[in-house]
Chains A and B, each alone.
Chain A
Amino acid sequence: MTARYPRPTLISSTPAEEIDDVTLAEDAAKGDPGAHAAIWDRYSPLVRRVLVRGLGPGSEVEDQLQEVFLRFYRNRTLLRDHAALRSFLFGITLRVAATELRSRRIRNWLRLTKDGVLDDHESAPTDNPEAREAVKRLYAILDRLNARSRLAFVLHYVDGLELTEVAEAFGVSLATVKRRLARISVRVFASAQADNLLVQYLGDIGVPRENGQRRR
């Protein structure tokens, strides 16, 4: 079997890191595999991070990571504003993550687990056990949210994205994101405050005062 390789690569003296997103996106829109490879190099660590944090610690995300960039290749012409490459990739990442989360729920339901929470994945043995337990409990709270709410929470509070970036990633207005995150944060905060381990990570805010004194 033989294939004519469509677009070999030009090598020039311009470092890859000096090529902006607009140029990469333009080249990628033309189907240039070199541009897609460069976009992978630039954004796969970020996408992987979002997937791992969105799907939960210990999650295997390699298939989802590949899917994100292949979906970008297939839908490359849909990116109209080439300066919005990062947001576009975020959007695809969220859709892939949401699909995976929904699939997990269905698989979990079919396995008829006792409490409906997702499987506990093995963590690295050298982790801080207390923090690891806290993260496990946090994700148990997030498991009770729907996929979009969970991912919005993770993007803003764990990945640290600004609200405008979260809005762009979801393709909604800033006002919509603020409204949704306000509802989500009330719910997650209340659950975390009720957990005797997680409350310690909420700082002073998480601790109710008793007769004017802070409860220990």
Chain B
Amino acid sequence: MTVRRKSSVDRDNALCQLGRMAATQVPGEISRDQESESRWRFRENLAREAFASNTTRWVIATVAVAALVAALFFGWRARSPALITFEVDSPAVVNQDYLLVPSTSPSAHVRFSDGSDLTLEPGARGRVAALRADGAAIGLESGKASLRVVHRPETHWSVDAGPFAITVTGTAFDVGWSGADQLFEVTLRSGSITVRGPLATAGIRLTAGEKLIVNLKAGQLGVEQIASAVDPLPRAPSMESGDLGGLADEAPPRKTSASPQARAGNVSGASEAKASWSKRVAAGDFDGVLADAQQLGLDAALTRSTLPDLVALADAARYKGRADVARRALLAQRERFGSSTAARTAAFLLGRLAESEPEVAIAWYDRYVSEAPNGEFAAEALGRKLVAVHRVSGWQAARPVADEYLRRFPHGAYAARARELASR
């Protein structure tokens, strides 16, 4: 027997081949939910780390030792409540001291770890002035913002807008302050708040559907009724139900339009004052489109929106990881506009959404390829079907799919994989 001498290059190539196989088997990927959870955990860890680094080490050690002794003595472990954290859902992060949304940018959204969220409209300036375990303090320097606070028994939030202070325990409202005009407005959509400040030093309590306007220059203050209470108080997730995971029953985070009757009639999603959902999704306003759909009511949005709006809603939901909303929007496209190109594309996208359930995904890819054999995503659908069949049923079942793929798309993205399977 002659044993071929292995050059180091040969050996290296062989090990690279072995390594590539290992890499495909160990992709190191996780689901979007797991990714989101991991991200939240890091934000919380980072917030604690930042807080701890401002305290001298011997104080921490002393407190820790005392807590440990107390825990051992009393049989329980002392635990400090976690501070609320937040993340900014925006296109960019730059090192500055406050929140600033340029007037040419879409609205910015700040999500808090307790489920509350803050929307800053273009041109707004503000800051998260303090974080607590039971709430936060928001400062609105200028412009307009919407705050939605999730109600919990011990929730305490505050908003300072110019010289005005708002205390909240669980509510949704829009607030605006213009230093140039000395004009303050707050529109309460749910819950109740108390506003204190110039011309309101004793505090003015507002209930849902009321709008407070204070014109400091004119020395005028007024409360007007804009509508009946529009939405129930947003509550902590454990008390919510509904298809939107809570969105369906929560107050909308965005400022209501000037006309309280804007919600009646055709729910095309494109109000007179706003760009269409398609344009807004193209501009990156995914949260805004989802919020609008929630404001309309998802069932109404799905049954009465135009096709472009349904497509935009599905795109926004997919981008934001709202697979439940995306799925319903895609199914609505197929049900209501079955003969359209968008409806056929929806089949492919439904397959993508279902990839954690390979059999379901395969069925959708089959449907897409059947309905649109020369469609934009035909190669991708067949390739992904190949991967799914291989995963579920092994290489022998995948071989016919590989043969078909090579026949139709010999230079496609999955051609190498198809050849490898077909050659077994």
Q: B-contacting residues of A (Cβ < 8 Å)?
A: 1-16, 18-19, 27, 30-38, 40-41, 44-45, 48-53, 57, 62, 65-66, 69-70, 73-74, 126-129, 131-132, 134-135, 138, 154, 156-160, 182, 185-186, 188-189, 192, 198, 201-203, 205-206, 208-212
> Knowing A5-B131, A131-B24, A205-B11 touch, does A15 contact B19 (C-beta < 8 A)?
no
10 closest Cβ contacts across the A-B interface?
A10-B96, A157-B19, A49-B28, A52-B28, A202-B14, A205-B14, A34-B93, A27-B95, A11-B90, A158-B19
Cβ contact within 8 Å between A16 and B23: no
Interface size class of B (residues with CB under 8 A): 35 or more
Residues of A close to B223: CB separation below 8 A: none
> Knowing A11-B100, A185-B15, A189-B6 touch, does A201 contact B21 (C-beta < 8 A)?
yes
Cβ contact within 8 Å between A188 and B95: no
> Knowing A12-B102, A33-B50, A38-B93 touch, does A53 contact B2 (C-beta < 8 A)?
no
Chain A residue, CB-CB nearest to B1: A210
Cβ contact within 8 Å between B26 and A203: no
Cβ contact within 8 Å between A36 and B46: yes
Q: How far is the CA of A32 from the CA of B94 in the complex (A)?
A: 9
Cβ distance B154 to chain A, nearest Cβ, rounded Å: 13
Contact with A along B8-34 (1 / 0, CB 8 A): 101111111111111111111110000
Q: Tell which of B338-346, B387-395, B404-412 binds the partner.
A: B387-395
Cβ distance B350 to chain A, nearest Cβ, rounded Å: 20
Cβ distance B310 to chain A, nearest Cβ, rounded Å: 27
Pairs A–B under 8 Å by Cβ, sample size 16:
A8-B96, A8-B98, A9-B88, A9-B96, A11-B93, A11-B105, A13-B104, A27-B95, A53-B26, A70-B42, A74-B49, A128-B390, A160-B23, A206-B14, A208-B2, A208-B3
Q: How far is the CA of A169 from the CA of B39 in the complex (A)?
A: 24
Main secondary structure of the interface of B (DSSP, over half): mixed
Q: How far is the CA of A185 from the CA of B104 in the complex (A)?
A: 56
Residues of A close to B100: CB separation below 8 A: 10-12
Count, A-B residue pairs, CB within 8 A: 229
Main secondary structure of the interface of A (DSSP, over half): helix
Cβ distance A68 to chain B, nearest Cβ, rounded Å: 10
- From 396 to 417 in chain B, residues with beta carbon under 8 angstroms from any chain A beta carbon are none
Q: How far is the CA of A30 from the CA of B120 in the complex (A)?
A: 26
Residues of B close to A1: CB separation below 8 A: 80-81, 83, 132-133
Cβ distance B50 to chain A, nearest Cβ, rounded Å: 6
Residues of B close to A38: CB separation below 8 A: 93
> Knowing A158-B23, A211-B1 touch, does A5 contact B130 (C-beta < 8 A)?
yes
